[in-house]
Structure 1
């Protein structure tokens, strides 16, 4: 949650921007919904989160973020946690525990200055491996649901394999025309089908109803599952992609706006989860990918996400509880393809592992190039090593459906590749006389006389 003190005044710029280009700001606000909506819908249907609490708290965070930072910073799901929660059908306590744990760790990193240290010691292949593994987990989970729940004409006219094919065709077209808000269009179509199905079956349609907050306290087992299965793997992803990288991207995209510090972004992420997760809200963060998406669709100021936040809060406060039934009838065919689309977007980050863009970004994050390379060009051997580390992270994460296992396996693989270099440095220091081996004390002490 943005800091309450030294509140900067970005309001004049936001007002000027929304007056001069209102349609662009509104369009930009919808840029990141392609990831937010499918994960929100899937977690709601699984009863892992509270829909009204998520809408209200994420809307509040949107407003505070826009006011404090003056940037179109997104408030998006913690994707690694969401992927595990969907695949394993987490309870509210388990996903809440994961979010609170990550929030607490990020708070510690922010107040102690460990953010820069963490960015330096966690290699890019491990971070990208967690992202790719989370994306593949989403795809596999959605694919399994589509195989088991759908036929060519069942379970209804609005939910079958025909709509899966249509949604996949639309997804392919969106890759050719990326400015089309594919996720939003499919979501609106799904909501229309849900309304129709509810109306024809004489079930209760969404109606006015105030939100009644409730607190969800994780149990001991919830803490263990949430932290080990999802929280541990989310930490490097949040630290690098949602805090450090977003600062540099903001300075690149909007240099005319004062760039927030990594500490401010870190405290914002920590506050959002240390507050909202106790009420059943979905764990959230700021993400560089979401910022890029909202900028691409036209957002240039905090006004865009303030508008989005106000809409989310209004829906959550006055209709949230009654929307659960509506999302419960959301066609699995459309939801499955939406989740697959989100998974593909997340898994696609692995493509840039050995490109100059990824290499330069890591150099900027750590204040220099990574220790395993020299210069600005990766050798073929280093490329293979980085690729192997990422694959080990992905493979173990997917095999065990556990972000923490993937993270530890990737780090172990990375450290293994560092052993020859470490041994070589020790040998060089020994030859230079900077390291001396311990020598026993011969002929000293008692008991040596004849």
Structure 2
């Protein structure tokens, strides 16, 4: 994981410097959605899909044929694929929250309880926290915006700048160390070998 994240970060920085903004690679999201939704989708299939996708994108980008592809694929098709991916991720997330998971075997186990560190109530609270902090992702159009220096506006600015997913990750990591202190012995920092 460390190696993957380090090189992904480096590639995002490079593409950001070359193109002005990091380029999202939508086919990789499709591969991830298929891998999460289908337990039969194994490591070999994921590797093959990644290699083939990378090769096709490299070919299209190097030859300039990507512009031709943009002209022939209508925007509603792209939006439909994005919607399908989002729904697939959402349904998988609900399954992961509702049932305990054996990630090694890609199987759902018994239903998760309502209370406790990994219960449904903390999951719902965390989801509500993310929704409240991030909202719809766009500024609301208000008839009368609050005054620039008002207390309400200051609180709103602070709340919207909170890294909600990172905060929940830290809470989850803390609960892991509280519930299973011996896991500290297995923690290794730094990139893993390739």
What's the TM-score, normalizing by structure 1? 0.32
2:77 corresponding residue in structure 1: 126
Q: Does 1:170 align with 2:121?
A: no
Q: Does 1:206 align with 2:191?
A: no
Q: Does 1:73 align with 2:22?
A: yes
Q: Which of 142, 158, 177 is the matching residue for 2:117?
A: 158
Which aligned pairs between 1:37-436 and structure 2 lie closer than 5 A? 51-65=1-15, 68-69=17-18, 71=20, 73=22, 78-89=28-39, 90-149=41-100, 150-153=112-115, 157-174=116-133, 175=135, 178-199=160-181, 202-203=182-183, 204-208=185-189, 211-213=192-194
Q: What is the distance in 2 between the residues matched to 1:75 and 1:191?
A: 28
**3-state SS of paired residue (2:180):** helix
Q: Tell me which protein shows more helix as a share of its residues.
A: 1
1:338 corresponding residue in structure 2: none
Larger relative contact order, structure 1 or 2 (CA cutoff 8 Å, min sep 6): 1
How far the C-alpha of 1:212 sits from its partner, in A, is: 2.5
Residue ranges of structure 1 left out of the alignment (5+ in a row): 1-50, 214-450
Q: What is the distance in 1 between the residues matched to 2:121 and 2:94?
A: 15
Q: What is the distance in 1 between the residues matched to 2:70 and 2:193?
A: 40
Contact 2:114 2:121 in 1 (8 A): yes
**3-state SS of paired residue (1:166):** helix
Contact 2:12 2:23 in 1 (8 A): yes
How far the C-alpha of 1:93 sits from its partner, in A, is: 2.1
CA 160–126 in structure 1, closer or farther in 2 if over 3 Å, else same? same
CA 172–136 in structure 1, closer or farther in 2 if over 3 Å, else same? same
How far the C-alpha of 1:160 sits from its partner, in A, is: 0.4
Over residues 288-327 of structure 1, what are the superposed CA-to-partner deviations in whole Å (9 max), with x where a residue is unaligned? xxxxxxxxxxxxxxxxxxxxxxxxxxxxxxxxxxxxxxxx
Question: How many residue pairs were aligned?
Answer: 157
Give 4+ residue runs of structure 1 displaced > 4 Å after superposition.
Answer: 74-77
**3-state SS of paired residue (1:207):** coil
The RMSD of aligned alpha carbons is 2.6
Q: What is the distance in 2 between the residues matched to 1:112 and 1:210?
A: 35
Over residues 114-168 of structure 1, what are the superposed CA-to-partner deviations in whole Å (9 max), with x where a residue is unaligned? 1111101111111111100000001111112222331113xxx311012012112
